[in-house]
Amino acid sequence: MTGIFEELRKGIEAGKKLDVLEKFQNLILLGLSVQTDFFRHAAMFGGTALRIFHSLPRFSEDLDFTLVSHGADFSIDSYKEPMSRFFSDMGLDEVMINIKEEGEDVLRGSFVLSIKRSESLRVKIDIEKPSANVMPRTETLYGSYPYNYSARLCTLPSSFAGKMDAIIHRKWGSKRVKGRDWYDFLWYMRKDTELDIYWLEARLKEKGTLDPDKKLTPELLGEMYEKRAVSVDVGEILRDVQGFMTEDLEKKSSLSWTPELFILQKDKLVDSAKRYLLTHRS
């Protein structure tokens, strides 16, 4: 299986590090799928999930998951040995697996593959341990590198809820902007994606962004979004995201983005939550 290592090494030498990083991400997901029971307990969401399984036209560096079963004594450390064995079987003995089990809310780790002395690939993994009873909706999708494999993902409406949580909650009141969140938001808008408002409500209450006794209505969501959109720095968005965009025409088009573009998404966002409520009565 050393052919895979050679393929990754040649990609690095050709200056295609982000493409190689995506292949390494696929290898990690393949191992979790075929070597462990990881996807029985967790579902993937976030930018890398959109990139690999829904053709999001931007690169994403990390793997984000959420646990989807309560009460299980889940430990990321239990996957270290079988994943090490998987990479060894694939001829990738150079992979180092680092585990940081932090607190009750999130588990963190990383996979590091040394290509040569001065070059390595590093993929961080974050696994949320939610305390709320509301769970995201999930589905099974299939990756294809280097072989076909199955993975459990949050559905697009639930994944959209995770993204809106980041937009509304992340660095509340700060001028710092994570442009990739806003880029993904526009992608969901273009896809006319419904929004899982039940999971978003649970996430915002869990973090204290929404009062426990308050109901998240589509209208309230619109108000919370608008507060963020009116103050967003489009220049900061572009500085963060342009290096990850993969389509030249979209890069050129993004230079015309304005604050009004984001403010005008409010009504469409409210509608996406209303449509979800109509089809998913709790």
CATH of the domain at 15: 3.10.450.620
Which amino acid is residue 237, in one-letter code?
I
224/189 Cα distance (integer angstroms): 17
Same domain, 140 and 192: no
Q: What is residue 191's DSSP assignment? A: T
- Of 113, 138, 154, the domain-final residue: 154
Neighbours of 173 (CB within 10 A): 6
Angle at 140 between CA 247 and CA 180, to 5 degrees: 30
Biggest CA–CA distance in the chain, Å, is 57
Which amino acid is residue 1, in one-letter code?
M
Same domain, 6 and 115: yes
Question: For residue 189, what is the enclosing H or E element?
Answer: helix 179-190
Q: Are 44 and 26 in contact (CB under 8 A)?
A: no
Same domain, 10 and 145: yes
- Of 123, 154, 185, the domain-final residue: 154
Domain of 236 in residue numbering reads as 158-279
Question: For residue 104, what is the enclosing H or E element?
Answer: none
What string of pLDDT tens digits covers the 282 residues of the chain? 468 999 999 999 999 999 999 999 999 999 999 999 999 999 999 999 999 999 999 999 999 999 997 656 788 899 999 999 999 999 898 899 998 866 668 889 999 999 887 889 999 999 998 877 889 999 999 999 999 999 999 999 999 999 999 999 865 444 567 899 999 999 999 999 999 999 999 999 998 899 999 999 999 999 999 999 998 899 999 999 999 999 999 999 999 999 999 999 999 999 999 999 999 875
In sequence order, the β-bridge partners of residue 121 are 113
Same domain, 263 and 185: yes
Same domain, 17 and 138: yes
- Please give the tally of structural domains in the chain: 2
Residue 164: φ, ψ to 5°: -65, -35
129/137 Cα distance (integer angstroms): 16
- What pTM, to 2 d.p., does this model score? 0.93
Same domain, 15 and 37: yes
228/173 Cα distance (integer angstroms): 9
Same domain, 150 and 16: yes
Same domain, 23 and 115: yes
